[in-house]
A = this chain, B = another copy of it.
Amino acid sequence: MRFEPVAPVRAYERVVEQIEQAVVSGALKPGERLPSERELMTQFGVGRSTVREALRVLQAAEMIRSRPGDPRGPEVLAASPAALHRSMHRLARADHVGLAELLQFRMILDGSAHLLAAELRTDDDLAGLDAAWEAMREGVSHGYAEFSRADVAFHEVIARISRNPLLVVSEEVVRGVVLELIEDKLEHASNRTSLMRAWLSHHAEVLDAIRSADGAGAAHLAKQALYDNYAEYVPAAQRPLLAPLLRS
């Protein structure tokens, strides 16, 4: 016989529970409105500060949104990966995760996304990729910022083709954190035009592989490109950690 540790239950937690339950059970659908704080406080029989703390928690979880002045009350939001994004971001920035681990993870995710994209792509998807590539090509002459945006868009299209939101979100997060870690080093990258051209031709290869449904090829191209571009920022001692992924 073992006993569970007991923790006092705070009033605002009960409020959170009830509202959360109403949302996940579908009783409250996205777009619908919660009663106003003053109304909730009479319904739950608690003070307004308690109601507000509960709403804060739900808002932090991206389940509701409240705007001052709106007589319709707080809005129930559709489930979105935004909360997942935030918590993953926080975890990824926590101390014990270095650039090597991030890059490793990104190679895994990016490789898998490319693999799936190559195997699952429809003709519509291919058209979307062509458009994204075209945007990149035009971006070259519009400066690095523009090109970079188009590059990100290209990756997003690929992630979307893989049809897995978890993959999309994770990749987005990891990419963001990697860029945060090395942004200062990227500042004084010289010869950007030739860099962009190299990137562009790499993406053309990827596009070909996906078009011909060559999953393994696309995955390898993606991983190799990440390695070629970022390995120099990884401490030499840790680079062997990345190599195994290139051989798969």
**Cross-interface CB contact of A53 among B52, B92, B248, cutoff 8 Å:** B52
- Shortest C-beta distance, A240 to chain B (Å), equals 8
Main secondary structure of the interface of A (DSSP, over half): helix
Taken residue by residue from 167 to 194, chain A's Cβ proximity to chain B (1 for < 8 Å, 0 otherwise) reads as: 1011000100000000000000000000
Residue A60 is within 8 A (CB to CB) of chain B in the complex: yes
Residue A97 is within 8 A (CB to CB) of chain B in the complex: yes
Residue A26 is within 8 A (CB to CB) of chain B in the complex: yes
Contact B244–A93 (Cβ < 8 Å): no
Binds B, one of A35-43, A123-131, A135-143, A158-166: A158-166
Q: Which 4 residue pairs across A and B have the least CB separation, nearest first?
A: A79-B94, A119-B244, A83-B87, A84-B87
CB pairs A–B below 8 angstroms (20 shown): A24-B93, A24-B94, A53-B56, A56-B56, A61-B90, A62-B87, A79-B96, A81-B91, A83-B90, A101-B165, A101-B166, A102-B166, A104-B164, A104-B167, A108-B112, A115-B244, A116-B245, A215-B244, A215-B247, A219-B248
Give chain A interface residues in 185-237, CB to chain B under 8 Å: 215-216, 219
- Shortest C-beta distance, A135 to chain B (Å), equals 16
Which partner residue on chain B sits nearest A167 by CB separation? Answer: B105
Taken residue by residue from 22 to 42, chain A's Cβ proximity to chain B (1 for < 8 Å, 0 otherwise) reads as: 001010000000000000000
Q: Which residues of B contact A116 (CB under 8 A)?
A: 104, 241, 244-245
Which partner residue on chain B sits nearest A82 by CB separation? Answer: B87
Which partner residue on chain B sits nearest A115 by CB separation? Answer: B248
Contact A95–B26 (Cβ < 8 Å): yes
Residue A150 is within 8 A (CB to CB) of chain B in the complex: no
Q: Which residues of B contact A163 (CB under 8 A)?
A: 101, 241
Taken residue by residue from 43 to 84, chain A's Cβ proximity to chain B (1 for < 8 Å, 0 otherwise) reads as: 000000100110011001111000010000000001101011
